[in-house]
Structure 1
Amino acid sequence: MAIAARRLPQDGTIDVVNRLRHVLTQVNLDCTCQDSLAGALDRFATLEKRRFSRRQLVQARDCRNQIAAFLSLLSELDALTESEPDRTVFREMELVFSEIVDCAFAGVLALRQIATE
């Protein structure tokens, strides 16, 4: 088994694994040692991919929880009317919607990174 580069998530640790693979392909190791090393690097890379995916999934769940909290704040919209004297409340609701958009986008990016690894 050759110590060829595998498709891995973009993560600092994975960069180290890829650099290590590159250096080790330049070293003349006996076949058994090279196979063992390639297997160890593959196992490590698999663990790193899982760690990366787990971290992204936690981030997506955090985004979901933040959105749920913001949605509860938006329930105050039902009590507002167009003649609300305190116009700043509309700005506050605008900011809540904006935060939901930002959280949703962060969740999209986290899940996209998992899906494309």
Structure 2
Amino acid sequence: MKSGQGKRNSSEKKGLETPASELIGRLRRVLRPEELDCACRKTLDGALDRFDHLERRREARRWLSSARGHKERIAALLAFLSELDTLTEVERDRSVFEEMALLFVEIARSAEAGAASLREL
């Protein structure tokens, strides 16, 4: 029974490893002495599994929220970039093109960060 529990817990960790999951793994090693009776061990394992599940969900919500924040930033930057439609090649103030280029750079950075957040899920 003990080996089955360990296998389930290790496979769950592969799905989304979080700092809390690592801590829970260390807690399992410390709090599960061999002399625990079966019922007590099941209760402890159940509590640790539930806590681990809640922490994984909390981390997933955080990463999803981060990705949404980057999406909103990109939308705001696109609004500024819409001024590009009014410019022509004969624009006297050439610095406006550099400013527009920087908007593209910022959009790319935000897109990369948003993609990284989603990959954490």
Same fold (TM over 0.5): yes
Q: 2-side partners of 1:91 and 1:16: how far apart?
A: 48
Residue in 2 that maps onto 1:111 = 118
Matching of residue 88 in structure 1 with residue 68 in structure 2 = no
Runs of 5+ in structure 1 lacking a partner? none
Q: TM-score, normalised by structure 2?
A: 0.84
Report the Cα distance in structure 2 between the residues aligned to 1:75 and 1:104, rounded to whole angstroms: 18
Q: Which residue of 1 is the match for residue 56 of structure 2?
A: 49
Select the residue among 82, 97, 108 that pairs with 1:101: 108
CA contact (8 A) 2:73 2:110 kept: yes
What are structure 2's unaligned runs of at least 5 residues? none
Residue number in structure 2 paired with 1:78: 85
Counterpart Cα distance in 1 of 2:42 and 2:80: 57
CA distance in structure 1 between the aligned counterparts of 2:112 and 2:29, rounded to whole angstroms? 35
Percentage of matched positions with identical amino acids: 48
Shift of 1:9: 2.9
Indicate the SS of the match to 2:113. helix
> Which one has a larger percent helix, Structure 1 or Structure 2?
2
Of the candidates 63, 66, 82, which is equivalent to residue 59 of structure 1?
Answer: 66
Residue 11 of structure 1: how far off its partner (Å)? 2.8
Q: Which runs of 4+ in 1 moved over 6 A?
A: none
Question: Post-superposition shift, 1:22?
Answer: 2.7
2:21 to 9, 14, 18: 14
TM-score w.r.t. length of structure 1: 0.87
